[in-house]
Amino acid sequence: MRLVTTNLTYDDVKPKLKLLVDTMFKLVPAGVGCKGFVKVSKAEFDEVMTKGAKWCVEHGYGWKEDIERIEEYGMIKGANPEKVSDKARQRGMDQIGTLGSGNHYLEIQVVKERNIINKEIAKQFGIFPEQIVVMVHCGSRGFGHQIGTDYLKIFNQVMPKYGIQVLDRELACAPYQSKEGQDYYAAMACAANMAFANRQVILHRIREGFQKVFAKTPEEMEMHLIYDVAHNIAKKEEHKIDGKKKEVLVHRKGSTRSFPPGHEELAPLFQKTGQPVILGGSMETGSYLLVGTEQAMEETFGSTAHGSGRTMSRTKAKHAVRGEKLQQEMEKRGIYVRAVSMSGLAEEAGFAYKNISEVVEAIDKAGLSKPVVGLKPIGNVKG
């Protein structure tokens, strides 16, 4: 998840909203198997796998300040391209700067004054009423999926050797310290770094798109990254267990990091506020920006929810509404959507997701993260 601010207001953007969304639809390829404009050699893709977002900034796809606003500064350590299959490489090399499909999106959002919950932190993040912001949700595309597929096969083969049995082959695993476990961690870090790079290039394209539409530079429009945070990742971290600090492997699946103010891994920018947490809702109801808490460190290894979660399957949602009808209804309510697939759009209908405000209220009551601001969609690009 990635969130970007601007100094534009709803009144600035409303007359050009369709042009803006259409421009994003052209600049950021979406859908299954789509390809990006960044062309890399095998050696350069090795660098992407190890350097992540840093590679992008070094090659002109971003600003230096972006790096400190990304989890792990945009680069997970321990990545080893040698542990990635040729098939995964082939799937990933031409997908940098692409959105993909499913629940991935690029969304133009507006900040309504009534939705600013913590005014002090919102101000520190540069958020103000009627402001336009941009949110992106996407990952490592087919590259990460192939790495997962490759290692599921390997783990299924070696589990008997380690005396491991699972009820579902999708839960295949290996001990972390085993050769297979270490190989997978090194390959997974490559996928995480490619995901950071992918979102970094998308940010670069967003800035280009806004410049085209509004004839101002991204700097003039103050298009600053608030944060980029991963979900669906395993990471080595230090946590207190029984009063002692230990290095552990934290698996965040369907969850996201939520580090508190003062945490040593956060950039100076977030030492007072805590880590920004981006929680996606649905394309009809909106999303939230929150911050991490000390309670999350104590109770959930510094983790919180990553999104509102589905209430029904994709198949059920497709049977409940047609994509074309949903697109028309959303436009009547002031949300302009461009989608590669109408059936894919139907899968993402607002009613297929839990009430985002209720989810945020539960997280807040549990003390796992503090809400800062709710963000309402006005434009959306879907795969």
The identity of residue 3, as a single letter, is: L
pLDDT tier at 373, thresholds 50, 70, 90: very high
**pLDDT at 348 (0 to 100):** 93
> Left if phi > 0, otherwise alpha if psi is -120 to 50, otherwise beta: which for 76?
beta
**pLDDT at 28 (0 to 100):** 96
Calpha distance 243→311 (Å, rounded): 38
Q: Which residues are known catalytic residues?
A: 306
**pLDDT at 31 (0 to 100):** 86
pTM assigned to the model: 0.96
pLDDT tier at 151, thresholds 50, 70, 90: very high
**pLDDT at 109 (0 to 100):** 98
Q: Are 205 and 106 in contact (CB under 8 A)?
A: no
Half-sphere exposure of 285 (CA within 13 A, CB side): 21
Question: For a pLDDT cut of 70, what percent of the chain falls above it?
Answer: 100
CATH of domain 2-94+111-309+353-382: 3.90.1860.10
**pLDDT at 103 (0 to 100):** 86
List, for residues 330-365, the tens digit of each pLDDT value: 999 999 999 999 999 999 999 999 999 999 999 999
Q: Are 137 and 1 in contact (CB under 8 A)?
A: yes
Q: Buried (b) or exposed (e) across 173-182, using 16+ Cβ within 10 A?
A: bbeeeeebbb
pLDDT tier at 13, thresholds 50, 70, 90: very high
pLDDT surpassing 90 at residue 100: no
**pLDDT at 32 (0 to 100):** 84
For 237, the 3-state DSSP assignment is strand
pLDDT surpassing 90 at residue 211: yes
pLDDT surpassing 90 at residue 101: no
Closest to 54 in 3D by CA, of 210, 196, 247, 160: 196
**pLDDT at 356 (0 to 100):** 95
Cα torsion 195, 197, 202, 206 to 10°: value is: 130
List, for residues 258-298, the tens digit of each pLDDT value: 999 999 999 999 999 999 999 999 999 999 999 999 999 99
Long-range contacts of 246-252 (CB under 8 A, 24+ apart): 248/301, 249/176, 250/301, 250/302, 250/303, 252/303, 252/306
Going by DSSP bridges, is the β-strand pair 286-292/231-241 parallel, antiparallel, or unpaired?
Answer: unpaired
Going 108 to 69 to 247 to 304, the CA torsion angle's sign is negative
Q: Are 277 and 266 in contact (CB under 8 A)?
A: no
Q: Are 98 and 34 in contact (CB under 8 A)?
A: yes
For 78, the 3-state DSSP assignment is coil
List, for residues 57-85, the tens digit of each pLDDT value: 999 999 999 999 999 999 999 999 999 99
Segment 165-188 shows an average pLDDT of 96
Segment 183-199 shows an average pLDDT of 98
List, for residues 14-48, the tens digit of each pLDDT value: 999 999 999 999 999 998 888 999 999 999 999 99
> For the chain, what is the mean pLDDT?
96
* Burial of 92 from C-beta contacts in 10 A (0-12 / 13-18 / 19+): buried
Q: List, in sequence order, the alpha helices (H) in the chain.
A: 10-13, 17-27, 42-51, 53-58, 64-67, 86-92, 119-124, 141-158, 179-214, 294-299, 314-320, 323-332, 342-347, 356-366
Going 68 to 70 to 71 to 75, the CA torsion angle's sign is negative
The domain segmentation of the chain, as residue ranges, is 2-94+111-309+353-382
